[in-house]
Amino acid sequence: MSTHIGANMGDYADTVLLPGDPLRAKYIAENFLTNVKQVNSVRNAFGYTGEYKGHRVSVQGSGMGIPSMSIYINELVKFFGVKTIIRVGSCGGMAPDVHLRDVLLASGSTTDSAVTANTFGPGIHYAPLANFELLDTAFHEAQKMGITPKVGDIFAADRFYNDELDMKKLADYGVIGTEMESAGLYLLGAKLHFRALSVLTVSDLIFGEEKTTAEEREKTFNDMINISLATAIAGK
Ligand SMILES: O=P(O)(O)O[C@H]1O[C@H](CO)[C@@H](O)[C@H]1O
Ligand SMILES: O=c1cc[nH]c(=O)[nH]1
């Protein structure tokens, strides 16, 4: 048991899918895993462990933003021995060739969060990167499913509502989407030595009007989930 996770040692699998939305965690557990056991309900940050194609996999809701997610990652890795974390999140699409419901893989993550600057101090602008083995596996598992994900830089925003950011400039410099966690996930992956990847579904368009509903964000992002589960068990 840790401060925010009411589970026992051994309750989590080596590999955890990490959606921000705890109800997406519940949806994944109920619809994609077998032999499922709920392992956390503290603060309604639901966590589950089950099997996918005979292999143990866990799924844990992490809340919104780097501060909340960092609590769950620290405890999953330090108290429960988790080795691989695949974020399964929603994001805003930013590149011209990115459409609603596309799957994006974050090869790296630019951020305005203080977490990287505070880690290294003035003068160092750390580049948080995905684990390449996971990135490569996810891309090829997606292709086997007939899906070609867009791969690139994801802007991890410190604030969901921020009209002071120049999103157009970020897009001009190659950022393909925005959410609120990937840079923190990759920074912690490097610090705590676990494998990290963000697999995202475009839930809305930053420079357009189209968007999905909260229920669709909770329950319909199945391509992202199938790719992430295939990646979780690849090579096992
Ligand atoms: O759908 P999730 O995984 O929560 O991710 C995105 O959605 C939330 C904002 O609506 C932020 O957490 C953002 O990163
Ligand atoms: O953080 C997020 C998530 C979805 N869409 C956005 O624009 N931002």
Residue nearest to atom 5 of ligand 2 (CA): 92
User: CA 48, CA 54: separation in Å to the nearest integer?
Assistant: 16
What is residue 235's predicted lDDT score, i.e. its pLDDT?
87
204 is catalytic: yes
Instruction: Measure 207 CA to ligand 1 centroid, in angstroms.
Output: 18
**Which domains are present in the chain?**
15-233 (3.40.50.1580)
Output the CA–CA distances (angstroms, integers) from residue 61 to 9, 132, 195, 199, 205, in the order listed: 18, 24, 18, 15, 24
- Rg of the chain over Cα atoms, rounded to whole angstroms, equals 17
Residue 195 CA, chain-centre distance (Å), reads 12
User: CA 214, CA 203: separation in Å to the nearest integer?
Assistant: 9
The residues near 222 (Cβ < 8 Å, ≥ 6 apart) are none
Q: Ligand 1 in contact with 180 (CB < 6 A)?
A: yes
Residue nearest to atom 8 of ligand 2 (CA): 179
What is residue 236's predicted lDDT score, i.e. its pLDDT?
85
What is residue 15's predicted lDDT score, i.e. its pLDDT?
98
Residue nearest to atom 4 of ligand 2 (CA): 91
* Ligand 1, atom nearest to 182 Cα: 14
Rounded average pLDDT per 10-residue block, the chain, 236 residues: 96 98 97 98 98 98 98 98 98 96 97 96 96 98 96 98 97 98 98 98 95 80 96 94
